[in-house]
């Protein structure tokens, strides 16, 4: 079963990747359940992450609990059910902005998405972040992995058609005008080139 906490009070289960034995995330979930069942604001505040404690004061948490006492009690009951599955995840952010996403499996953290291995985003914002990362790396392979199947197929077909059209470049009709050149390519493509310091470079193509 899947559980969601009140929007105003988010519990994040964390564990160190460097520990010899990874703490059981279910213990944190049960601690949350006990605190929620008793409406214990101090206990709930103590198990919030540092960022969450910085975002709201202890008094604010107490007010939230007063407003959501019944919902927290229901959550406590659900969390204690035998069929509840607790997932623990972690994110590692590197100095260059890259992130690695990990999930706890069998007492060990396993990589779910890192660098050139996007694991599939669960939200639109996550997909946009993956797009940003592959574009920042100038990774064509990474870009293809974050596109939808239809878009990926379209891009690959267009590029394949362009490759086929450029199979014999010496036979193409290259129209040079000063330091610029335009080349119609079979398959409906068009390439524009520009000469820079005596070197011809591709300026654009479609």
pLDDT in tens, 45-90: 888 888 888 888 888 888 888 888 788 888 788 878 877 777 777 7
Structural domain span for residue 65:
1-112
Helix (H, G, I), strand (E, B) or coil at 147: coil
Last residue in a domain, options 51, 83, 112: 112
How many domains is the chain partitioned into structurally? 3
Mean pLDDT (the chain) is 75
My answer on whether 179 and 135 are in the same domain is no
My answer on whether 144 and 200 are in the same domain is no
My answer on whether 142 and 176 are in the same domain is no
- Is 55 within a domain? yes
- Is 143 within a domain? yes
Instruction: Report pLDDT digits (tens) over 145-165.
Output: 778 888 888 888 888 888 888
Q: Decide if pLDDT at 42 tops 80.
A: yes
- Order of all β-strands in the sheet with 99-105: 89-93, 99-105, 108-114
My answer on whether 9 and 81 are in the same domain is yes
d(CA 113, CA 127): 12
Categorize the per-residue pLDDT at 110 as very low, low, confident or very high, splitting at 50, 70 and 90: confident
Q: State residue 9's pLDDT score.
A: 36
- What end-to-end distance do the CA atoms of the chain give, in Å? 49
- Is 158 within a domain? no
- Is 22 within a domain? yes
- Is 157 within a domain? no
Q: Decide if pLDDT at 93 tops 80.
A: no
My answer on whether 106 and 28 are in the same domain is yes
My answer on whether 137 and 171 are in the same domain is no
Q: Decide if pLDDT at 100 tops 70.
A: no
Which helix (H) or strand (E) segment is 35 a member of? helix 25-38
My answer on whether 24 and 79 are in the same domain is yes
Residue 113 and residue 139 in contact, taking contact as beta carbons nearer than 8 Å: no
Residue 185 and residue 166 in contact, taking contact as beta carbons nearer than 8 Å: yes
What pTM does this model have? 0.42
DSSP percent split of the chain into helix, strand, coil, nearest 5? 40, 20, 35
């Amino acid at each position: 079963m899947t559980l969601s906490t009140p929007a105003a009070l988010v519990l994040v289960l964390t564990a160190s990747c460097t520990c010899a034995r990874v703490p059981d995330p279910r213990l944190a979930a049960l601690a949350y359940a006990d605190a929620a069942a008793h409406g214990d604001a101090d206990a709930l505040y103590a198990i919030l992450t540092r960022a969450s404690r910085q975002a709201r004061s202890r008094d604010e948490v107490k007010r939230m609990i007063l407003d959501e006492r019944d919902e927290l009690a229901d959550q406590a009951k659900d969390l204690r059910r035998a069929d509840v599955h607790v997932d623990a995840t972690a994110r590692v952010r590197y100095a260059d902005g890259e992130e690695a996403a990990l999930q706890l499996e069998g007492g060990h953290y396993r990589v779910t998405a890192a660098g050139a291995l996007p694991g599939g985003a669960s939200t639109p914002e996550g997909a946009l972040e993956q797009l940003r990362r592959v574009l920042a790396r100038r990774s064509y392979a990474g870009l293809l992995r974050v596109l939808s199947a239809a878009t990926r197929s379209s891009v690959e077909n267009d590029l394949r058609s362009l490759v086929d059209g450029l199979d014999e470049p010496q036979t193409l009709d290259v129209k040079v005008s000063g330091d610029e050149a335009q080349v119609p390519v079979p398959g409906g493509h068009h390439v524009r080139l520009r000469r820079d310091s005596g070197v011809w470079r591709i300026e654009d193509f479609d």
